[in-house]
């Protein structure tokens, strides 16, 4: 029934390749099916003005799509002269999500910027960015710990994200683009490996949903996140 032939509760194949760029302190290329996102982590000693001198660290994110990551070419945002509303929303979400998994005291007064650049898009780029972004973050923090600059682990539990939605009347896990563009209801679910929730964004376009349906999607999301955490752990220990 799903265009890809997947079962309702079946994720796309996930692969996370680390160390893909030589300059970044942490990096990975995450592939969720045909969605490919390059995530890099940059460590800097400066922090935003509003926490200067607080001893607390900061994690932030930027997101972009290559112009031809999509089926028809998008205008390059650098040429347009500004980041679109969707881009701004997504990068704020990624930053907020990752910070929820960071002990900012343990990190110390430094900033880590996660850049998520979509090489190829097929739905779910924001969730892939969070899941891959955590891996890049983990690798960068590992460098700080190996160098003795950070002594207590600030990343206690992995952060991962997956989208679920109601497609053709059925709750399905990990929407790809053909499903996403048809689904009247879809949500992004961001969790810790422990199952604790960080953020739920569940919205409808031309439809509404019941609390029952919301709970069905949450059940699917828990399954999906558990599988993503396995992939994250394998990647960072590789």
Please state the residue numbers annotated as binding site for phosphate: 86, 124-126
11 or 136: CB nearest a second copy: 136
What residues pair up with 204 in beta bridges, in sequence order?
185
Q: Could you say which DSSP state residue 49 is in?
A: G
Which residues from 126-185 bind a second copy, rule CB under 8 A?
A: none
Binds a second copy (CB under 8 A): choice among 8, 9, 10, 34: 34
- Assess contact for 190 and 199: CB atoms under 8 A: yes
- CA dist 107 and 22 (Å) reads 23
Among the residue ranges 58-66, 123-131, 145-153, 166-174, the one whose residues contact a second copy (CB under 8 A):
58-66
Binds a second copy (CB under 8 A): choice among 149, 197, 226, 230: 197
- For the bound state, the minimum distance from the C-beta of residue 39 to a second copy, rounded and expressed in Å, comes to 10
Beta-strand relationship, 35-44 and 197-204: unpaired
71 or 151: CB nearest a second copy: 71
- For the bound state, the minimum distance from the C-beta of residue 54 to a second copy, rounded and expressed in Å, comes to 13
- Each residue 66-95 as x (binds a second copy by CB under 8 A) or -, in order, gives xxxxxx-x--xxxxxxxx-x-xxx-xx---
Given the structure tokens 């460590």, which residue do they identify?
43
- Assess contact for 134 and 159: CB atoms under 8 A: yes
CB atoms within 10 A of CB 117: 17
Closest listed residue to residue 126, CA positions, set 203, 236, 238, 47: 203
Q: In the chain, how long is the greatest CA-to-CA distance?
A: 56
Token output for 137: 């973050």
Binds a second copy (CB under 8 A): choice among 10, 17, 109, 199: 199
- CA dist 139 and 238 (Å) reads 11
Site membership for a second copy, residue 96 (CB under 8 A)? yes
Tell me how many residues contact a second copy (CB under 8 A): 63
Token output for 93: 């979400």
Site membership for a second copy, residue 46 (CB under 8 A)? no
Binds a second copy (CB under 8 A): choice among 4, 9, 15, 201: 201
Token output for 219: 């059940």
Q: Which residues bind a second copy (CB under 8 A)?
A: 21-24, 27, 34, 38, 40, 42, 44, 62, 64, 66-71, 73, 76-83, 85, 87-89, 91-92, 96, 99-100, 104, 113, 115, 117, 119-121, 187, 192, 196-211, 214, 218
């Amino acid at each position: 029934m799903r265009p890809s032939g997947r079962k309702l509760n079946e994720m796309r194949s996930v692969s996370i390749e680390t160390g893909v760029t030589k300059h970044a302190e942490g990096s990975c290329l995450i592939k969720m099916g045909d969605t490919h996102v390059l995530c890099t982590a940059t460590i800097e000693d400066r922090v935003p003005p509003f926490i200067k001198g607080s001893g607390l660290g900061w994690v932030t994110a930027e997101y972009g799509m290559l112009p031809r990551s999509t089926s028809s070419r998008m205008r390059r945002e650098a040429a347009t002269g500004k980041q679109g509303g969707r881009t701004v929303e997504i990068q704020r979400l990624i930053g907020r999500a990752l910070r929820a998994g960071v002990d900012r005291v343990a990190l110390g007064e430094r900033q880590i910027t996660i850049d998520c650049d979509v090489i190829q898009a097929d739905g779910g780029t924001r969730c892939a960015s969070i899941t891959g972004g955590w891996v890049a973050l983990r690798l960068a923090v590992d460098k700080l710990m190996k160098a003795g600059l950070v002594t207590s682990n600030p990343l206690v539990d992995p952060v991962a994200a997956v989208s679920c939605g109601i497609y053709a009347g059925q709750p399905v896990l990990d929407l790809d683009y053909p499903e996403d563009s048809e689904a009247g209801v879809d949500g992004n679910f961001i969790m810790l490996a422990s199952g604790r929730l960080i953020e739920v964004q569940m919205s409808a376009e031309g439809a509404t949903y019941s609390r029952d349906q919301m709970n069905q999607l949450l059940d699917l999301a828990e399954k999906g996140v558990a599988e993503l955490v396995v992939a994250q752990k394998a990647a960072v220990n590789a």
